[in-house]
């Protein structure tokens, strides 16, 4: 029901935020609870999304074989799993620091509420981006009990990156969205304009990453990482055309998984070498 690939979108950025927060590697205890929090949030969000969208998933040819609409996983089990996952997030936040614990209901409300946004707004891509963009900010708060301008900009970069590739992913459902009355940017603007806007958002993502690297006084490995990410994003956009969406999954899962892991590796090396 929950694909492992989904973890490599937000978790590496949470760890990047943690490395920036302490200018080194967090303690084993902090790292453990950060991972528990991220897995709890991801699992709660994904499972609740499957519950909320089960009727739409059953009608959409692309999603009708998912575990909940086919009955492979019962609605009761999915609901219980969501509650347990949400509890893990709250527990982990409690173990990290008081501010993280106080903000955990806000995080939960955001990641669970996203599932309903496509019913009434084409801005749902940006809501999803904001949910994942919280990951480096949340890690920073968890370790320092505060936030800073650079990590907010890093969160904004992640949010635009996610929204950009979610727009690409949504292109394959534009016909179904019209039939079901769901909202998306590809439906509203058309495939060509949606892909152009996605590319523009990824350009802004790169600019924000460069700005954060400069504000945090990172070195050449970090800037090399941003350059490599630029190449990956350019390749991602070369895979998808308004007239050919056959490689959307490669663009969505493979390329973006490499983006987050590559940035964690290069920025991590830069931070830890000092």
The pLDDT value given to residue 203: 98
Classify burial at 98, counting beta carbons within 10 Å of its beta carbon; exposed 0-12, middle 13-18, buried 19 or more.
exposed
The pLDDT value given to residue 56: 96
Instruction: Tell me the sheet residues that pair with 172.
Output: none
Task: Report the chain's C-alpha Rg in angstroms.
Answer: 18
CA 213/CA 224 separation, integer angstroms: 11
pLDDT confidence of 252, banded at 50, 70, 90?
Answer: confident
The pLDDT value given to residue 112: 97
CA 132/CA 28 separation, integer angstroms: 23
3-state secondary structure of 241: strand
The pLDDT value given to residue 4: 67
Long-range contacts of 69-76 (CB under 8 A, 24+ apart): 72/1, 73/1, 75/51
- Second-level CATH architecture of 4-272: Orthogonal Bundle (1.10)
The pLDDT value given to residue 273: 86
- Provide mean pLDDT across the span 20-46: 95
The pLDDT value given to residue 274: 74
pTM, 2 dp: 0.95
CA 246/CA 253 separation, integer angstroms: 13
Tens of pLDDT, residues 194-230: 999 999 999 999 999 999 999 999 999 999 999 999 9
Tens of pLDDT, residues 54-95: 999 999 999 999 999 999 999 999 999 999 999 999 999 999
* Residue 21 backbone class (left: φ over 0; alpha: ψ -120 to 50; beta: rest): alpha
The pLDDT value given to residue 55: 95
pLDDT at 102 over 70: yes
* Element at 94 (helix H, strand E): helix 75-96
Percentage of residues of the chain with pLDDT beyond 70:
98
């Amino acid at each position: 029901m929950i694909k492992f690939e989904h973890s490599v979108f937000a978790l590496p950025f949470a760890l990047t935020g943690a490395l920036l927060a302490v200018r080194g590697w967090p303690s084993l205890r902090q790292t453990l609870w950060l991972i528990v929090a991220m897995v709890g949030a991801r699992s709660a969000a994904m499972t609740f999304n499957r519950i909320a969208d089960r009727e739409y998933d059953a009608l959409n040819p692309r999603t009708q074989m998912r575990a909940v609409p086919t009955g492979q996983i019962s609605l009761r089990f999915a609901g219980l799993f969501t509650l347990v996952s949400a509890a893990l997030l709250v527990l982990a936040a409690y173990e990290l620091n008081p501010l993280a614990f106080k903000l955990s209901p806000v995080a939960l409300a955001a990641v669970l509420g996203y599932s309903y946004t496509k019913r009434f707004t084409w801005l749902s891509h940006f809501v999803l981006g904001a949910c994942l963009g919280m990951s480096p900010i949340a890690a920073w708060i968890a370790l320092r009990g505060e936030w800073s301008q650079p990590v907010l900009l890093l969160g904004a970069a992640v949010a635009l990156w996610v929204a950009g590739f979610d727009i690409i992913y949504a292109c394959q459902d534009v016909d179904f969205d019209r039939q079901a009355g769901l909202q998306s940017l590809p439906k509203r603007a058309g495939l060509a304009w949606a892909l152009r806007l996605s590319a523009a958002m990824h350009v802004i993502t790169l600019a924000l990453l460069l700005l954060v690297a400069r504000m945090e006084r990172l070195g050449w490995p970090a800037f090399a990482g941003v350059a490599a990410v630029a190449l990956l994003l350019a390749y991602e956009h070369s895979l998808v055309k308004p007239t050919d969406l056959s490689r959307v999954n490669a663009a969505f899962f493979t390329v973006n998984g490499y983006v987050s892991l590559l940035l964690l590796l290069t920025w991590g090396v830069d931070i830890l070498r000092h």
